[in-house]
Structure 1
Amino acid sequence: MIGEMNEAYMLRVLQLLLTTPSPSGYCHAVMAKLKQEADELGFTLQLTPKGNGIIRVPGREEGRVLGLSAHVDTLGAMVRAIKPDGRLRFTLIGGFMLGSVENEYCVVHTRDGRTYTGTILTTKPSLHVYADARELKREESVMEIRLDERVHNADDVRGLGIANGDYISFDARTVMLPSGYIKSRHLDDKAGVAALFGMLEWLQRTGHKPAYPLQLLISTYEEVGHGAAWVPEEMTELLAVDMGAIGDDLSCTEHDVSICAKDSSGPYDYLMTTRLKELAVREGLSHAVDIYPHYGSDASAALRGGANVRAALIGPGVHASHGIERTHSQAILQTAVLLAAYVLEPADTYA
């Protein structure tokens, strides 16, 4: 099955996603591109009122509905205030260390469709000027955006159409290396979305049908905690595809598909997790089973939202999550293979 997966297709989709800004709640452009991608594969992506996307795929049998999810929204920021000197104060969208975006290039997206570039800095950005620049604690109150425009005061900035509440996206800085390594922001979880579409392309190209009807949910608010808080009533289980964490006592690497047995929301479904591990072994996949104590997923949001589903979590290993991340094409490929194997032969219906 690995040889049948179209790695080049998944990397093309990943490149498309990474070059399209999509902080949580600002996902209309990337969803339009995914809708077109689904159309070209012969599937229909429908938008929910919330802005999530659902792709439905017929199955061989009825009686169960298998849900698969991945989130296309990313970390970002929003204009909190325009400062008297023309710099922008911002507030975070999603959870990340402010040091990870210091000196990063960014784009301000106005509500009327204009864009302006800038750089994220501290209020004391130079050691040549500020003796305490190194010791300055990185927190929102000392961070600002320097616009690449000739502005000297708040009125100059407002004249550009920039206002409080405008979205700010970060430069993804994507590099795809001949070695197979991929360095970029926002691999969480655009690498997962690429794997999901890789499985979808495989189903379309090979003519395989999943065991039961599929509902692929592309969520747009995962980074702020409620991406898949609602799922369709007919869904009986949900397999979330998100990044696999790396570090500390975790066994996952950038070449693996990760199977998460438990995260901050508690343990995932026993039968689903066991079946995923069995399939990973059977398919000869490089994989890891890990515990993520500081992590939540779309499956977590669905369960907390009251969904009556079984849930599990897998994804490609991603190093330095919520920073300048890195994975390997093999991790994305193996995640797609595990997805395909699972939808063809899911876990037993009951414990």
Structure 2
Amino acid sequence: MSFDQSYFYSLVKDILTTPSPSGYTYHVIEKIAQYSSELGLSHHKTNKGNLIIEFPGIHPNQTLALAAHVDTLGLMVRSINHDGTLNLTSIGGNQMMTLQGEYCQIHTRNNTTYTGTILSTTPSAHVYKECTQTGQTIDELMVRIDEKAESKDDVINLGIQNGDFISIDPKTVITKSGFIKSRHIDDKVSVSIILTVFKYLKDNNLKPRHTIKLIISTYEEVGHGASYIPNDVSRLLVVDMGCVGKDLSCTEYDVSICAKDSSGPYDYNMVSELLTLSKKHQINHAIDIYPFYGSDASAALRAGHDIKAALIGPGVHASHGVERTHIEGCLNTMKLIFAYLTEIQF
């Protein structure tokens, strides 16, 4: 089995570098819709802005849903200061200590984009005695805009206002040794993984056993991404980042299978099936419990959907900061998804 790594890397670079904090995902959704059209797959958008891509299966009367989210952490303009800097509010669970010094973009309501830098409110060691103690909370961070804006009126005249979205520069790099390091690997790498599996199926004239509905969700980072699931879905396999660190088994080279997260245990039978397939195909894997984690499956189950759900994904280090994974973990995730789509009967 040989997945198209060039295609995968191309997707990763394009999707990771397209700004899409939760609530500002229109541009990236259009790109993914175009990618699905290029694969010959039909798709439609929900009222909420999620994208649902359909891949017909051998048994069209049975439907398995996949889900991955394309929204990311981000910021929003809370207010404008008298000196032309911006106060912030967080979108999702940012690690504030990692944001100091990061470049960003401010996206205005009139479709103008400005660049800036996220700094502490006491950014100079030559000016502020408390410089090294500041910047651990959202109230101690600000954005310095790369324009001649030295007052609140100057900023307003640029078209920037309260409620404008701010995206954080992902700093995406793919190394010769196979590491993908970037912000927002959670969960844009998973979107790229699934589309690469779909391309493999198409290139080899293969079909999944069941009709697949891929839900690309747009509000996962704020808790309600895949709260809507099509009525014909009985199983949901979420592909999201696997956790690395502390007492967890997963590494960046594995596909992680989640047995339980903060919302509770995942479906016993589905988790067992995923473990069986991993062992059968000698896929490097780990089974873990994610202590501070919720997923699109959590959102769907809390919304009252009568479904079985499971969660897998490549191991990702330093989540919600400057993240990193490896091509081996991504390929192992592809292998497990392919096996699940083509072998499992229900």
What TM-score, normalized by structure 2, do the two folds share?
0.98
Distance 1:62 1:108 in 2: 44
2:235 — aligned with what?
A: 237
Distance in 2 (alpha carbons) for counterparts of 1:118 and 1:102: 12
Residue 102 (structure 1) aligns with: 100
Task: Tell me whether 129-138 or 214-223 shows the greater mean CA deviation.
Answer: 129-138
| Matched-pair contact (CA < 8 Å) for 1:13–1:194 | yes
Q: What corresponds to 1:196 in structure 2?
A: 194
**Alignment partners' CA distance in 2, 1:232 and 1:129:** 57
Q: What whole-Å deviation, never above 9, does each CA across 1:78-111 have from its counterpart, x for those lacking one?
A: 1000111100001000012211111100000001
| CA distances 1:210-246 after superposition (whole Å, capped 9, x unpaired) | 1111100000000000000111111000000000010
> Is the contact between residue 268 and residue 311 of structure 1 (CA under 8 Å) also seen in structure 2?
yes
For structure 1, the residue ranges without an aligned partner over 5 or more in a row are: none
Establish whether residue 143 from structure 1 lines up as the match of residue 137 from structure 2: no
Distance between the aligned counterparts of 2:38 and 2:335, measured in 1?
Answer: 21
Deviations 1:244-287 (A, max 9, x none): 01001001111111100100010001111111111111121111
Aligned equivalents of 2:68 and 2:154: distance in 1? 40
1:185 aligns with 2:183: yes
Contact kept? 2:121, 2:134, Cα under 8 Å: no
1:9 to 7, 23, 26: 7
| 2:41 corresponds to 1:58 | no
Superimposed CA distance per residue, residues 127-165 of structure 1 (whole angstroms, 9 cap, x where no aligned partner)? 222112222361122211000111110000001000111
Aligned equivalents of 2:279, 2:125: Cα separation in 1: 53
User: Helix, strand or coil for the counterpart of 2:62?
Assistant: coil
Q: Which has the higher strand share?
A: 2
The one-letter amino acid paired with 2:316 is V
Decide which of 292, 300, 303 is 1:302's aligned counterpart: 300
Q: Which residue in the other structure is 1:48 paired with? A: 46
* Farther off after superposition, 270-279 or 125-134: 125-134
Q: What is the SS of the residue equivalent to 1:5? A: coil
> Which of 280, 287, 290 matches 2:288?
290
1:208 alignment counterpart: 206
Identify the residue that residue 85 of structure 1 maps to in structure 2. Answer: 83
Alignment check: 8 A CA contact 1:194 1:332 kept: no
1:165-218 C-alpha deviation (Å, 9 max, x unpaired): 100000010111110011100000011101110111111111111111110000
| In 1: Cα distance, 2:86 partner to 2:23 partner | 20
1:315-330 aligned at under 5 Å gives the runs 315-330=313-328
Structure 1 residue 45, shift from structure 2 partner: 2.2
Q: Where does residue 311 of structure 1 map in the other structure?
A: 309
Q: Specify the SS of the correspondent of 2:10.
A: helix
Conserved in 1, the CA contact under 8 Å of 2:56 and 2:207?
yes
- Displacement of 1:63 in angstroms is 4.4
8 Å CA contact 2:120, 2:135 repeated in 1: no
Would you say the 8 A contact 1:81–1:89 is kept in 2? yes
Q: Is the 8 A contact 2:74 2:92 kept in 1?
A: yes
Residue of structure 1 equivalent to 2:216? 218
Poorly superposed stretches of 4+, deviation over 3 Å: none
Aligned-partner residue type, residue 55 of structure 1: I
Measured in 1, the distance between the counterparts of 2:37 and 2:296 equals 24
Are 2:115 and 2:145, in contact at CA under 8 Å, matched by a contact in 1?
A: yes
User: Is 1:246 the equivalent of 2:263?
Assistant: no
Determine which of 142, 145, 150 is the counterpart of 1:152: 150
SS of the residue aligned with 2:133? coil
Structure 1 residue 64: Cα displacement: 2.5
CA contact (8 A) 2:181 2:325 kept: yes
Q: What SS is found at the alignment partner of 1:213?
A: strand
Query: TM-score, normalization: structure 1?
Result: 0.97
Structure 2 distance, partners of 1:168, 1:190, is: 18
For residues 340-351 of structure 1, the aligned pairs below 5 Å read 340-346=338-344, 349=346
| Matched letter for residue 268 of structure 2 | Y
State the distance in 1 between where 2:129 and 2:181 align: 33
Amino acid of the residue matched to residue 82 of structure 2?
A: P
